[in-house]
Structure 1
């Protein structure tokens, strides 16, 4: 009985040591965890006009603050659309709205940071025509995910379709 228990404990410890020593990937992207509650999918927006914006972060790493970046693309973005730093490559997006910091757990807005605005202005571009389908994409970054030290940032991608009016 003691031998069986010792073997079981040793097996569990060896498995845990193996898992801890396995290298982490340099980038991990998950899809659709945060919620883009505004605008609604399929909204028609004229160039140069404002539209509502609200993103509820998932804060899956339980960070005090969640960094997000907001983009516009002319294709449905996926995890493979992002580079190793969780951004779209130059030329891989139509417009960059900016980076924002969401305070979690009732924390105050950090000095020098910009919280997400309640509306964004649709860009004016000669590359876009009325009726074109575009995508509003939000990349949320998790910086302190378990198990903790030496874990690279993780990214979540959420998007909705919009139509140029």
Structure 2
């Protein structure tokens, strides 16, 4: 008996169309950037104090965050399907905040207390830049939910 691949291709194509895409889920919940405060002047390759108070809206043991530098005021519409900015001026990294007094996890850095800025000279003195934090929730009830992303940002000014 011979199989014809010409019959299988339409079957697989129909199957692929039937699998729904998991949409990005944006949450109105998010934490607060404590530092830096709005209007702080940032210098090229200087550092800024950094502190973020997570919301932990799903009451997880750990809250993943990512920290970004943007040259525009971010909105949740700027996030891609995985909760990232594809056009950021700079990416500071991904960090994990322990909740309920839990210790840091090995291999998962806690947020830094300062952010070292990249070369900002291309933006010119007095330009508005934004520190943005994306807080990700992955354990929201009732379970098996797609990741949810909350966004907080603060405007800083270049020197």
**TM-score in same-fold range (> 0.5):** yes
Partner of residue 153, structure 1: 147
Partner of residue 138, structure 1: 133
Aligned positions, number? 140
Q: Give the alignment's Cα RMSD to 1 decimal.
A: 1.6
When the two structures are superposed, what TM-score results if normalisation uses the length of structure 2?
0.83
Provide closer, same or farther for how the CA distance between residues 55 and 24 of structure 1 changes in structure 2, counting only shifts above 3 A.
farther
Shift of 1:32: 6.3
Q: Unpaired segments of 5 or more residues in structure 2? A: 1-19
Q: Unpaired segments of 5 or more residues in structure 1? A: 1-22
Contact 1:32–1:159 (8 Å) recurs in 2: no
Provide closer, same or farther for how the CA distance between residues 39 and 32 of structure 1 changes in structure 2, counting only shifts above 3 A.
farther
Alignment of 1:79-118 (within 5 A): 79-89=76-86, 92-118=87-113
Shift of 1:76: 0.5
Shift of 1:31: 4.5
Contact 1:35–1:55 (8 Å) recurs in 2: yes
The structure 1 segments of at least 4 consecutive aligned residues displaced by more than 3 Å after TM superposition are: none
